[in-house]
Structure 1
Amino acid sequence: MAKLERITVTMPEEMVAKLRAAVESGEYATTSEVVREALRDWSDEQRRREEENAAMRAILAKARGGKRYTSDEVFAEALRRVDEIAARKADRSAA
């Protein structure tokens, strides 16, 4: 079993009341059990979000052909396209 360490946590009265109610109802033996379960759930949620983010990054990388662009490259490409559009409009106006 992992080594346990005692910490002190300050929380609002409403949260303390919920912790104590969970123990008094018999759902948990101690307030520490409630907190440990909440932290396990939080940790699981964090891991799930990171997995989803990694999957999304993989999808985006595949959609881009695996190439990643710097902000300077994106900005330069945007300027190039704006110039291209402006040139086409100028050609149409001259015609």
Structure 2
Amino acid sequence: MPDIQKISVAVTGDQLSAMRDAVATGDYATTSEIVREAVRDWQLKRAQRQDELARLRQAWNEGKESGGRALFDVEEVLVRAQARRVGAE
């Protein structure tokens, strides 16, 4: 069995009411169960964000290492986009 420890968590009245309603309707056995599920969801989302950041860092580094940098002229891109739009009309 996991090591269970108690902490104090402050929630709004609306949050507490929603939690108590979920317990009263049988969706959850206790409010603690709701909090544990919320923490598990947070842990999962945090791990996913960390994985995504790692992928982005890797892509960034690969892009930097690939060389081939060229100046990007925003005005030229806008002129070409405008020309395509006018040509399509």
TM-score w.r.t. structure 2 length? 0.70
Shift of 1:34: 0.4
Identity of aligned residues (%): 36
What's 2:78 paired with?
none
Q: How does 1:4-23 map to 2 (within 5 A)?
A: 4-23=4-23
Moved over 3 A (4+): none
Letter paired with 1:10: A
Shift of 1:62: 0.4
What's 1:36 paired with?
36
CA–CA distance in structure 2, aligned partners of residues 60 and 6 of structure 1: 42
Q: Give the CA RMSD over aligned residues.
A: 1.5
Matched, 1:27 2:53: no
Structure 1 residue runs without a partner (length 5+): 67-95
Q: How does 1:56-75 map to 2 (within 5 A)?
A: 56-65=56-65
How many aligned positions are there? 67
Structure 2 residue runs without a partner (length 5+): 67-89
CA–CA distance in structure 2, aligned partners of residues 20 and 26 of structure 1: 10
Letter paired with 1:20: R
